[in-house]
Every structure is written in structure tokens, then in C-alpha cells.
């Protein structure tokens, strides 16, 4: 039971940290109206990178072992953990889709921003 309690404490710390990342990613950012798609693309690339690295960490063997131990112990913290795991996956997919869309826009409209329309 002591090991389970320590692992639950670690998972609760991870949950707090992940919630903080999700809250920060959802906050409105203020930028000029004329920034263009390239700045938006950079924002979403950064967001995609941070969420993908978070997903990689969650899928690491160390985290999987801890989660499987807590599953065997039928810990109640896993409900929050699974919910956050789903939220991170959703945010990572959203960022990936936006990067793909904005990259396509930048590919076609980027030359217009760099040269005169004539």
C-alpha cells in the first residue's frame, strides 16, 4: 500500500502539471491583426511539438509501468489520468490538423507575402 500511495502521489503531480499545460494552451494569445498565416503556422508547430513530446512521455515504459501498477491496485486516480490522456490526444490532433492546413495555405499564399502581386 505504501508503494501504491507513492505512485498515486506521483501521478497526481503529473496530473497537475498536465492540467497546467492544457490551461496555458487554451488561453487566448494577443497578436497584431496583420501577422499572416506564417506566424499562425509557427504557433501551431510549437503547440504540436509540445503536445507530441508530452504524448511521447506518457507512452514511455516508465509511465506505462506505473499506470499498470495502479490499475492492478484499482486506484481512483486513474479516472482523472485517462481523462487527461484523452484531452492531450485531442489537443495534439488539433494542433497536427492545424499545422497541416496552415502549411498548405502558406505553401500557396506565402509567395504573395514575399513578393508584389504583380
**Residue 117 corresponds to which cell in the numbers above?**
502581386
pTM of the predicted model as reported, rounded to 2 decimal places: 0.72
Average pLDDT rounded to a whole number, residues 20-31:
75
The per-residue pLDDT of the chain, averaged, comes to 81
Residue 56 has pLDDT above 70, yes or no: yes
Nearest to 8 by CA among 83, 71, 58: 71
Measure the CA–CA gap between 62 and 46, rounded to whole angstroms: 25
Residue 90 in any domain: the answer is yes
Structural domain containing residue 91:
2-15+37-107
What are the pLDDT digits (tens) for 78-117?
A: 888 888 888 888 888 888 888 888 888 777 776 666 776 6
Residue 113 in any domain: the answer is no
Residue 22 in any domain: the answer is no
Instruction: Check if the beta carbon of residue 69 is closer than 8 Å to that of residue 4.
Output: yes
Residue 9 in any domain: the answer is yes
Q: Structurally, how many domains does the chain consist of?
A: 1
Residue 118 in any domain: the answer is no
Residue 19 has pLDDT above 70, yes or no: yes
Residue 78 in any domain: the answer is yes
Residue 116 in any domain: the answer is no
Nearest to 54 by CA among 66, 63, 65: 63
Residue 79 in any domain: the answer is yes
Amino acid at each position: 500500500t505504501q508503494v501504491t500511495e507513492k505512485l498515486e502521489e506521483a501521478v497526481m503531480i503529473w496530473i497537475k502539471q498536465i492540467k497546467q499545460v492544457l490551461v496555458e494552451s487554451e488561453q487566448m494569445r494577443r497578436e497584431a491583426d496583420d501577422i499572416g498565416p506564417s506566424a499562425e503556422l509557427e504557433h501551431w508547430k510549437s503547440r504540436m511539438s509540445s503536445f507530441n513530446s508530452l504524448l511521447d512521455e506518457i507512452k514511455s515504459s516508465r509511465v506505462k509501468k506505473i499506470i499498470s501498477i495502479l490499475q492492478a491496485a484499482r486506484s481512483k486516480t486513474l479516472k482523472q489520468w485517462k481523462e487527461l490522456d484523452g484531452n492531450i490526444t485531442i489537443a495534439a490532433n488539433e494542433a497536427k490538423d492545424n499545422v497541416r492546413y496552415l502549411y498548405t495555405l502558406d505553401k500557396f499564399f506565402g509567395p504573395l507575402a514575399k513578393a508584389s502581386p504583380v
